A and B are shown apart, each in its own frame.
Chain A
Amino acid sequence: MVTILNQSKKETFGTTQRKDLWWLEPLVYAIGLGLFLLYATWAAFQGKNYEFGPYLSPFYSPLLIFDWWHFSPAFLILWIPAGFRATCYYYRKAYYRSYFMDPPACAVSEGCSGEKYTGETTFPFIFQNIHRYFLLGATVLLFFLWSDVIKAFNFNGQFGVGVGTVVLFANTFLLTMYSLSCHSFRHLIGGCMDSFKCGYQFKIYEKISCANEHHMFWAWTSLFMVGFADFYIRMCSMGVWTDIRLL
């Protein structure tokens, strides 16, 4: 049995000789990201049920209430983490593959080949280059989130720990790891130099690099946790479930 091999670039979408389930990974990511986006948009539009006891939903932190702002306060701050994640070197890979199919998977044809492709050299993707300023913004937000965690130990003037406290702590920890493992942060710490100034700088750079290797892990866990933190507080606030005091 023989087949004529067509080596030309004009192949239809999805042409490949791969025999594994190459479509599984992009599909899972597409669904995961899609579900989060849906939930986050819905939650941000709510404009209510974001507080319960000492807890404040991370979607709404810091809580900015102004007379002149008639929409949900979430929108005043959510553009920062949204921009941070949208320009993130990991998420770029995930959504270029899952949503833009550029490429859908390694060694799988895109179908719409051609020279129109401009990558990240033109609008809008050229703006990926300002990732570091979103990192700056996200770092500022982290200070508020940590102060929210501290507040979450304070139940009407008394020290305490609830499930919500743990959730907020875990969320902020993961978000911090996500920011620390950021490629732009790694660049700032030592990637921008050819020789390290001292052994300490190198040690820090090594630690950041180590975290950076798992950037994808921190990206997904923190994404899930930030959604769950909002969901948890929202459910408490709506009375669907009650927060259990652990201490």
Chain B
Amino acid sequence: MASPYRMKNAKFKVYRGNASEGQEVEYTVPVEEGMVVLDAIHYIQKNQAPDLAVRWNCKAAKCGSCSAEVNGKPKLMCKSRLDDFNLDEEINVRPMKSFPIIKDLACDVSWNYEVNKKIKPFTPKENTNWIMKQRDVDRVQEFRKCIECFACQNVCHVIRDHDLKPKFAGPRFFVRVAGLEMHPLDAADRLSDLKNDMGIGFCNITKCCTEVCPEDIHITDNAIIPLKERIVDKYYDPFKMIFRKIFGMQ
């Protein structure tokens, strides 16, 4: 079948190199119908640069491996269709900026795994009968959609510009904590951790995490702000604090 796409070539500028030095190398890729950026990267790998490092697994936006910055925007490469770009201009593909580059498009994201370890695990209430209503788990299920592509971590200016990694857990892990804190049968309290160790106060709710989330999780509105409100309940609400003092409640 004749296709108008057959004629076209797309120009890519792909970062090649490691953390200390590197350059953008130009590649030309013939465009096929329905092609995504990851297809182009694979084409380059197969035909022009077999050692081009890139992470990918499912190619269906379900595993969250192929995060990169396409024309400066954090995206999953498997979900970035070429027809959404102006093919007269070159397309820039770079590794995520907030993490150290290993090689080419692969970054060292191990920091995220370290943060995850520090989160208090799910702790079920004692003697629960494991009955949960769907309406109570709706919220939690949204957070559990996260595929850990770390695009939110990458775009968050607290990490990206201010480099506050030691003090700040990042949107991905606020989402995770929200999933635990709002679990109807969870008994653990993570609010003081959130405030002190995970630095939720550094978040100034500028919503870039929500903008880039490929799973469409409303990170700011549904996870971070509700958690901030719960922290206000415990630490900042003067009347609630007095109330608790008087009645000795937790």
Contacts and interface: CB of A to CB of B under 8 A. Distances in A.
Touch test A–B (CB under 8 Å): yes
B146 interface: no
B25 A194 contact: no
B121 interface: no
A157 interface: no
Contacts of A114: 162
B153 to A, nearest CB: 13
Given A17-B71, A113-B163, A194-B183, A212 B204 contact: no
A148 interface: no
Contacts of B232: 129-132
A1 B207 contact: no
Given A16-B72, A18-B73, A97-B206, A192 B184 contact: no
B163 A93 contact: no
B39 interface: no
A117 B157 CA distance: 10
Interface in A203-247: 212-213, 215
A125 B204 contact: yes
Interface in A182-209: 183-184, 186-187, 191-192, 194-196, 199, 202
A17 B161 contact: no
Interface in B149-196: 155, 157-158, 160-164, 181-184, 186
Contacts of B103: none
A85 to B, nearest CB: 15
Interface stretch (B14-22, B41-49, B50-58, B109-117): B14-22
Contact of B161 (A9, A93, A126): A9
A192 B233 contact: yes
B163 A96 contact: no
Interface string A92-113: 1100110000110011011001
B163 A17 contact: no
Interface in B216-234: 218, 220-221, 225-226, 228-233
Interface residues of A, number: 51
A101 to B, nearest CB: 10
Contact of A192 (B71, B157, B158, B229): B229
Nearest to B26: A1
A121 interface: yes
Given A113-B162, A125-B204, A196-B136, A107 B233 contact: no
A92 B203 CA distance: 11
A4 B18 CA distance: 11
B133 interface: yes
Nearest to A194: B184
A199 B231 CA distance: 26
A110 B157 contact: yes
A102 B157 contact: yes
A103 B72 contact: no
A67 interface: no
Given A115-B163, A192-B230, A5 B94 contact: yes
A183 B221 CA distance: 8
B205 interface: yes
B201 A120 contact: yes
Q: Which 3 A-B pairs have the closest CB atoms?
A: A17-B72, A119-B202, A18-B72
26 contacts: A2-B24, A17-B92, A18-B71, A19-B72, A89-B221, A102-B157, A102-B204, A103-B206, A103-B208, A107-B160, A113-B161, A115-B162, A119-B203, A120-B202, A121-B199, A121-B202, A129-B237, A131-B232, A183-B226, A187-B230, A192-B230, A194-B136, A195-B132, A196-B133, A202-B135, A215-B221
Interface of B: 15, 17, 19, 21-26, 69, 71-74, 89, 92, 94, 97, 101, 132-133, 135-136, 155, 157-158, 160-164, 181-184, 186, 199, 201-208, 211-212, 218, 220-221, 225-226, 228-233, 236-237
Given A3-B24, A107-B72, A107-B155, 9 more contacts: A7-B19, A89-B225, A103-B206, A106-B155, A115-B163, A117-B158, A121-B199, A195-B133, A195-B136
